[in-house]
Structure formats: structure tokens, C-alpha cells
A = this chain, B = another copy of it.
Amino acid sequence: MSDTPTSAAGVFTRNQIQAAPVVLDLERIASGISQALIVNSGVANCCTGKPGMQDAVAMSRMTADSLRIIPDQVLVASTGVIGPRLPMAKIESAIPKLVAEARPTGFVDFAEAIMTTDTVPKLVTRQALLKGAPFTVTGVAKGSGMIHPDMATMLAFICTDMGATAQQLQRILTAGVNDTLNKITIDGDTSTNDTTLIFANGRSGVDLQSPKDAALFNEVVREVLGELAQLLVEDGEGATKRVRIIVKGARSEASAHVVANTIAKSALVKTALFGEDANWGRVVAAVGREGVPIEPEKLKLFFGDILVFANGCGTDDANGKQVSSVLQQPRFTITMDLGLGSAEVSVYTCDLSVAYVRINADYRS
């Protein structure tokens, strides 16, 4: 919650199956004004029909009542299992306590409270100066599985004391999400509850008056979003590696993104990453299968800085010790140069481990 109403903007899942809180927030965020956010984890409140929508509304009303603010200015987010109803009695008894304990430094508790299969809370704060006045951008996110955002991600919330209009926030958030949260994948499954919200209450005393101001603020927000995106991948369900897939030399950004996503989502590439196996053939095969026209002879593939594939064949270095040591790192880069143009996209992915399967086989039990 904010002491005063804030400008607010959001980006939501493009999945056609949308959870009740997503539908409710889409409606409420249209006003561009919000003052509080209530989030639960464990139950997604998705595929719950009219009763689910009533639960979401009730959850916001209870929060508004406790805070003595307008219910329409409370946003709601849920994450967890699809299908079951929210435990409303539990929520009702918890809200007054949450409100009583709310404080400016509560972000860490919040980040912990919204975790599901996450193993670490995800919290990023940046401070910067605008016209000599300091402002802060703080972001919190959760998400570990069902992560293949499409115009949004799992749950991510950005709060700032910058002064900005809802329109300014929306523009900055949409562009920023597209370059960060929309460029990660954990398992290729797009959630029904993806929600990213930004709140700006203007408490810093500065606001965005010129395009230059907006550019500075934009940069800080993007840094926070980028950092959160990387934290999400690093904490991907069962993940032991965070791998950046760069596709360059593409004819268009769209085709680069398709190729990068195909590599990033391939079960065979992801299991090879888990096995620390420089199996470049699987990367090359993935590039060939998704329908973006390529010229096999022009492809150049690098693991880290080491060229492993060129002129249609593996290189002498492809099976060397240097490549093995790249694969053993917890973070590294795979670069595919298509040799056709100048467009470039990078996507973050993680490996597919035995633990991922275990987590998701046992998720509801």
C-alpha cells in the first residue's frame, strides 16, 4: 500500500485462460490510479468461474476496509494451483494483521510471502538522482515454473516514489517488460496469472517533466526489471544454470526471437546444459526446425567465446577442455550467429534437471 493514491500501470498474461485477479486488475487499472495491492500464493484463483471473481472482489474489499480506502483502488494478484477456490476465511482473518503490520521496509517480507516453488525471494532496489533529488525504484517478483512470459511474466511488482502519470508508466513498463521479462523462459509454459504492475506515488518530490527525465527513469526501471528477470531464471524450478542465448545476424528481430526461443525451450538443449555436455548438435538442430529460413553453411555457434560450429561442421575446439569448462560455469552465454542480417535478440533460459521433473510431478501432492 501507499500512503496516498499512486499512478499505476500493468502488463498481463496473453494466455486466453485468465485468472480472476487478472480480469479484475485489467478492469481497475484502466483508471490509472491505485493505492494498494493484495497478493496470495498457493492458489491461482483461475478457472474458478463467477465465485472466483467474487472471491477476488471480496479480497480487495476486505483490504480496502482495513486500510479505509476505496476498493476500486486495490489491485489483486494470485499465484499457485489452477482450479481450487481461495481459502477466504483464512484470507479474511489475515488481512487486518497484514494491514496493522504494513511498513515501508516490508518489501522483504512481501517478497518472501509470495514465493511458491521459488527458493529465494526476489527483490531489487535502485536509487538514482533526478535534478539532484534522489528517487527509488523497488521491484519484487516471484516465479519459478510455468514461465514463458508473453507480454508479461509471472508476478512482478515495481514501486517508486517518482512522480509519473499512468500513461508514462504504461509506456515505460510495456517497453521494459518486452526487453526483460518477456525474454526469459523456464519451461515454455505461459502462466494464466502473469501480472506485472508498477506504482508511482511521487513522494520523492520529483516528477517526469521532460523526455530526458523519462529516459533516465526508464533506464532505472529497466535495470530493475532486467535484474528481476535474471533472478527468476536463476531460480527456475530445479535450475542449476542460467544461460543467456544470443541470436544475432538475423534478418529481423522477430525471427531472431523465434530462433532464440526455440533454442531456449528445447528439452534436448536444456538436458544437455544440465549434463554440462557441449552437445552443439542439439542447438543447431533446434535452429533448423522452427521454420525461420537459415543457411546452414553460414551459421556460427559459440559456447562462451569458443567457436564450436562453422561452415556446416563442428570445429576442432568443439570437444576441447575449454568448452567443457564453459559448460561447468553456473552462468554462461550461447551465441548463434545466423550470418544473414544485423538483428539481435537475447533470451535467458535455464537447464532442465531431474529436480524440475520431481518438483512438477509432485506439485499438488
Question: What residues of chain A have their CB less than 8 Å away from a CB belonging to chain B?
Answer: 14-18, 44, 46-49, 52, 81-84, 145-146, 148, 150, 187-192, 265-268, 271-272, 274-275, 277, 279-282, 284-289, 293-294, 296, 309, 311-314, 318, 352-354, 356-365
In the complex, which residues of chain B have a beta carbon less than 8 angstroms from the beta carbon of A279?
81-82, 363-364
> A189-B289, A354-B354 are contacts. A311–B49 as well, Cβ < 8 Å?
yes
In the complex, which residues of chain B have a beta carbon less than 8 angstroms from the beta carbon of A188?
265-267
Q: Are B47 and A284 in contact, with the CB atoms below 8 A?
A: yes
Copies assembled: 2
Bound form: Cα–Cα A172–B277 in Å: 41
Q: Are B17 and A284 in contact, with the CB atoms below 8 A?
A: yes
Q: Are B363 and A357 in contact, with the CB atoms below 8 A?
A: no
Which of A44, A293, A354 is most buried by chain B, counting CB atoms within 10 A of its CB? A354
Bound form: Cα–Cα A18–B287 in Å: 12
Partner of A49, one of B16, B83, B312: B312
Min Cβ gap A144→B in Å is 12
Bound form: Cα–Cα A365–B275 in Å: 9
Bound form: Cα–Cα A265–B189 in Å: 10
Bound form: Cα–Cα A148–B223 in Å: 38
Which of A281, A362, A364 is most buried by chain B, counting CB atoms within 10 A of its CB? A281
Q: Are B47 and A357 in contact, with the CB atoms below 8 A?
A: no
Q: Are A82 and B272 in contact, with the CB atoms below 8 A?
A: no
In the complex, which residues of chain B have a beta carbon less than 8 angstroms from the beta carbon of A83?
280-281, 313-314, 318
Q: Are A145 and B363 in contact, with the CB atoms below 8 A?
A: no
Bound form: Cα–Cα A65–B259 in Å: 43
Bound form: Cα–Cα A271–B358 in Å: 8
Q: Are A356 and B271 in contact, with the CB atoms below 8 A?
A: yes
Q: Are A189 and B82 in contact, with the CB atoms below 8 A?
A: no
Bound form: Cα–Cα A84–B278 in Å: 13
In the complex, which residues of chain B have a beta carbon less than 8 angstroms from the beta carbon of A277?
361-365
Partner of A357, one of B49, B293, B352: B352
In the complex, which residues of chain B have a beta carbon less than 8 angstroms from the beta carbon of A146?
268, 282, 285
Bound form: Cα–Cα A192–B312 in Å: 13
In the complex, which residues of chain B have a beta carbon less than 8 angstroms from the beta carbon of A49?
311-313
> A83-B281, A277-B365, A296-B17 are contacts. A360–B271 as well, Cβ < 8 Å?
yes
